[in-house]
Amino acid sequence: MDTEDHKALREAVTALGKRHGPGSDPIQLWSEAGKLGYLGVNLPEEYGGGGGGISELSIVLEELGAAGCPLLMLVVSPAICGTVIARFGTDAQKQQWLPGLADGTRLMAFGITEPDAGSNSHRITTTARKDGTDWLLTGRKVFISGVDIADATLIVGRTEDARTGRLKPCLFIVPRDTPGFARRPIDMELNAAEKQFELTLDDVRLPADALVGDEDAGLLQLFAGLNPERIMTAAFAIGMGRHALAKAIEYARDRTVWNTPIGAHQAIAHPLAQAHIDLELARLMMQKAAHLYDTGDDMGAGEAANMAKYAAGEACVKAVDQAVHTLGGNGLTREYGLARLITAARVARIAPVSREMILNYVSHQTLGLPKSY
């Protein structure tokens, strides 16, 4: 349940979202949200943040989504990159990046997904090798959001363990204009403000201090960013589902056929009620995951974050589908703004990890069933 502080945060962000609304300029919204302190609610106070956690940041994204103006880069810049740097970065890295991430004047993208590996950290082929004190980073990334507007990208690479010869994941800060670091936009059917890119890293030379955290603790550091990513994706989906549902409820109350509002008919009302229940249940799991993460239970948060992302993705798709169906032909018009959500809702089922891989995780990690792969 929300604390009084959380309720106040919801109300304030809701007011901001309503001032901007669907179709608003995301750059202006990002700037105002940063000035008001909402972008950095999860980051340490000594670096300009709010001193809260993912619980607070998920509220910001959920309420902006419910107002019809979600900011996808909230998932990436403060939630993944800000969290990783705050937990594992050097003092210099924190000083350089966290204040700007908190107030919105700096933006960071996150590069993990690869053409042949997806987000499987054990199959990533982007490699980093030492050259004196520098690092040389080579590889490819795909479906990386917002690289064109980001000051730098936090790249997941792999380095060779000198003792075993095995590759282990490591995180590197790659500034946007670094030589050898190229991007190509991906032509997406999804019409979103944040564009998707394929990245090519061709012997990108980085100084020693581009490495975030301990070279030998890469997997721990990586999942410190991936759990917030899943929680925030759940917030993104829940907000979108609430926005669609609110439009359908308003329409069902007002649209009258044969002297009766269509919302009086159970065939209309019950599916909307079910969608509301599913969204509320997903929100409870998201809140549990955020609480576990914020209290330092990384293992518990991993399970809950995956479940929250799964539940929210399913609830969002069902809510959007039912909203469109409630409006009938009007649900496909630009006036009501629901048709664009049909595609957008699927993102929460697919990214950052598919629902099938979450079911694999729960099967193996929670239920203890054997792997099929």
Model pLDDT for residues 46-69, shown as the tens digit of each residue: 999 999 999 999 999 999 999 999
Candidates 309, 278, 277, 311; CA nearest to 293 is 309
Query: What is the model's pLDDT at position 232?
Result: 98
Does 35 have pLDDT greater than 90? yes
CATH superfamily of 219-366: Butyryl-CoA Dehydrogenase, subunit A, domain 3 (1.20.140.10)
DSSP 3-state of 181: strand
Model pLDDT for residues 136-159, shown as the tens digit of each residue: 999 999 999 999 999 999 999 988
Q: Under a CB-based contact definition with an 8 Å cutoff, are residues 205 and 136 in contact?
A: yes
H or E element that contains 206? strand 196-206
Query: What is the model's pLDDT at position 84?
Result: 95
Does 165 have pLDDT greater than 60? no
Give the chain's largest Cα–Cα span: 80
Per-position DSSP letters for 77-107, written without gaps between them: IIIIIIHHHHHH--HHHHHHHHHHHHHTSS-
Q: How far lies 305's CA from each of 113, 206, 357, in Å?
A: 19, 33, 13
Candidates 166, 154, 283, 311; CA nearest to 226 is 154
Query: What is the model's pLDDT at position 116?
Result: 79
Q: What is the mean pLDDT of residues 22-36?
A: 96
Alpha helices in 210-336 (DSSP H): 218-254, 266-294, 298-327
Residue 120 CA to residue 179 CA, distance in Å, equals 27
Environment class of 143 (CB within 10 Å of its CB; exposed 0-12, middle 13-18, buried 19+): buried
Model pLDDT for residues 293-305, shown as the tens digit of each residue: 999 999 999 999 9
Structure tokens at 9: 């945060």
CATH superfamily of 4-107: Acyl-CoA dehydrogenase/oxidase, N-terminal domain (1.10.540.10)
CATH superfamily of 109-216: Butyryl-CoA Dehydrogenase, subunit A, domain 2 (2.40.110.10)
Does 336 have pLDDT greater than 80? yes
pTM of the model: 0.96
Question: Which of 62-71, 121-130, 163-172, 186-195 is the least confident region?
Answer: 163-172
Q: What is the residue-averaged pLDDT of the chain? A: 94
Q: What is the 3-state secondary structure (H, E, C) of 101-170?
A: HHHCCCCEEEECCECCCECCCCCCCCEEEEECCEEEEEEEEEEEECCCCCCEEEEEEEEECCCCCCEEEE
Model pLDDT for residues 199-221, shown as the tens digit of each residue: 999 999 999 999 998 877 667 78
Q: How confident is the model at residue 1 (pLDDT cuts 50, 70, 90)?
A: confident
Per-domain boundaries in the chain: 4-107, 109-216, 219-366
Instruction: Name 164's Cβ contacts closer than 8 Å, sequence gap at least 6.
Output: none
Query: What is the model's pLDDT at position 218?
Result: 62
Q: Under a CB-based contact definition with an 8 Å cutoff, are residues 294 and 55 in contact?
A: yes
